[in-house]
Amino acid sequence: MRTNSNYNPDVLSCLANLSSDEVFTPPQLANQILDLLPKEIWSAKNARFLDPVCKSGVFLREIAKRLNDGLENEIPDKQKRINHIFKNQLFGIAITELTALLSRRSVYCSKKADGKYSVCEIFDDLQGNIRFERIEHIWENGKCKFCGASKEEYGRGEELETHAYQFIHMEKPEVIFNMKFDVIVGNPPYQLGSDGGTRDIPIYNKFVEQAKKLNPRFLSMIIPSRWMASGLGLSDFRRAMLGDQRIRKLVDYPNARDVFPGVEIKGGVCYFLWDRDNNGHCEVTTVRDSDVQGPVPRILDEYDIFVRDSGALGILHKVISMNEPTLSEVLSARTAFGVVSNFSGYRPVRMRGDVRYYATSPKGRIKAWIGRENATQITNAIDCWKAMVPKAGSDGGQRLPDIVLGQPWIAEPPSICTQSFLFICIDSQAQAESVASYYRTRFLRFLVSLRKITQDTTSASYSWVPQQTWDRTWTDEALYKKYSLTKGEISFIESRIRPMEANEK
């Protein structure tokens, strides 16, 4: 308990989040993001700042503090300085009517910009420069043409929020304020349910893309890090981000709880600085708890996905330089046999003609029997030995050392499985055991971790894992020697990946 009677907590650091998709930005984080901007911007009398996704108003409030200090010499009178800053330099678009009121209260000290207690004396309307306008989705074939929201889920009455965010629901966002901005900064909503709530689609990418249309001098947003390697519908966005040499700074948090306490965001979060007038390498910083790596100059589009850990690049270069075929070329595709996880036609007792059936359920792994005719794809794989590995693994390296993958195991023929597993078809049990030993190595799981950012693992996650000969039990020591890894590189792998015993589940 604090005994200092002068202690005055910042109310914006105490707000509970609306959801894991609409997360309030803590003041400390807002200031870390603003620190990316050049210091001279805070003494620029004519610079304009826009937060197109106001929730608590924290970005505008912290910008106002910096401008108030930076413009003191040029506009000595405090009230004139405040009037100028709020009227001519700060602009916001709220995401809901509630957050509009909250933002005005934290920025103007009054929910009405022209109210009696507003710190700015020259507004003549209640919204001031923090605006909210209810927008409706534009439906085309059951989806919103702007954000992809499902009409079934978001075609709502006037009593509910539409979640049709104004900034991304128009072709020309510049008409909102009819002006250009020097800085656009914010923390956009992250995702929406796209088909009745059974699947979510990211929308944070649309805010970044829309902001670039306004062509500000600087753009900075905090967004989920999933775009770096995966994410539904994010392929074009990922290519654009990695290929954009105007992204000059990138700060990555593999564990989102390091900046958003109590909020789970799979794959972590990141924020970046986009500098319109300066191209070049990007300074990348990775933060896990109190461990800060970087900034390290990086070429973002060196590969098709972004390798988050700069310390992994030397190891990856050595492996790729061997130019060996990879496991992704021989791993099964998703739903390899055409049998999905909710299939209910399996049985506990074998009948004539049945084959082994492997699936997962909330209660654990299912090992049962199923008619061979239920397999509709790659039926030639039914009668081979299989080295199996669960498709779901760890949470994407949020906590180190990580396990990355679930325990591999051997399925004897004849057998089939659902999309809960990936497998390699092999000729014999001994070869299958060799593959399984390779799966358990830290070396393999480290290479998978470079392309895996959430729990889900696909065959593409193994694109940097070289194939081996399946005539021995593979160990890390043998692999470290084969790829000429140094003691430092070995230590790096082993600090990231923990051992997996053969009987570990």
* 270 shares its domain with 341: no
Which pLDDT does position 5 carry in this prediction? 46
User: Cα dist. 176→41, 131, 169, 172, 308 in Å?
Assistant: 23, 9, 11, 8, 36
Per the CB < 8 A criterion, the answer to whether 31 and 259 are in contact is: no
What percent of the chain lies above the pLDDT cut of 70? 93
Report which of residues 377 and 488 the model is more confident about.
488
Residues 214 and 362 placed together within one structural domain of the fold: no
How much is the mean pLDDT over the chain?
90
pLDDT band, residue 7 (cuts 50/70/90): very low
- What was the pLDDT predicted at 21? 53
Which one, of 285, 206, 294, 298, lies nearest residue 245 by Cα?
298
User: What was the pLDDT predicted at 394?
Assistant: 74
Task: Tell me, yes or no, whether 357 and 259 share the same domain.
Answer: no
Give the Cα separation of 81 and 68 in Å (integer).
7
Task: Answer for the pair 194, 148: CB distance below 8 angstroms, yes or no.
Answer: yes
pLDDT score of 2 = 39
Q: Which one, of 424, 428, 417, lies nearest residue 444 by Cα?
A: 424
Q: What is the pLDDT of residue 1?
A: 35
Tens digit of each residue's pLDDT (9 = 90 or more) over 298-316? 999 999 999 998 999 999 9
What is the per-residue pLDDT across 434-467, written as a single tens digit (0 to 9) for each? 999 999 999 999 999 999 988 888 899 999 999 9
For residue 395, the model assigns a pLDDT of 62
At residue 46, does pLDDT exceed 70? Answer: yes
Mean pLDDT of 283-293: 91
Residue 115 lies in a domain: yes
Establish if 321 belongs to a structural domain: no
Q: How confident is the model at residue 3 (pLDDT cuts 50, 70, 90)?
A: very low
Residue 1 covered by a domain: no
Is the same domain home to 124 and 220?
yes
Same domain flag for 406 and 270: no
Are 130 and 256 found together in one domain? yes
Beta carbons within 10 angstroms of residue 478's beta carbon: 14
Looking at the structure, do residues 170 and 80 belong to the same domain, yes or no?
yes
CATH number for 96 = 3.40.50.150
Does residue 337 register a pLDDT over 60? yes
Q: Give percent of the chain with pLDDT exceeding 90.
A: 74
pLDDT tier for residue 505 given thresholds of 50, 70 and 90: very low
Domain that holds residue 470: 327-496
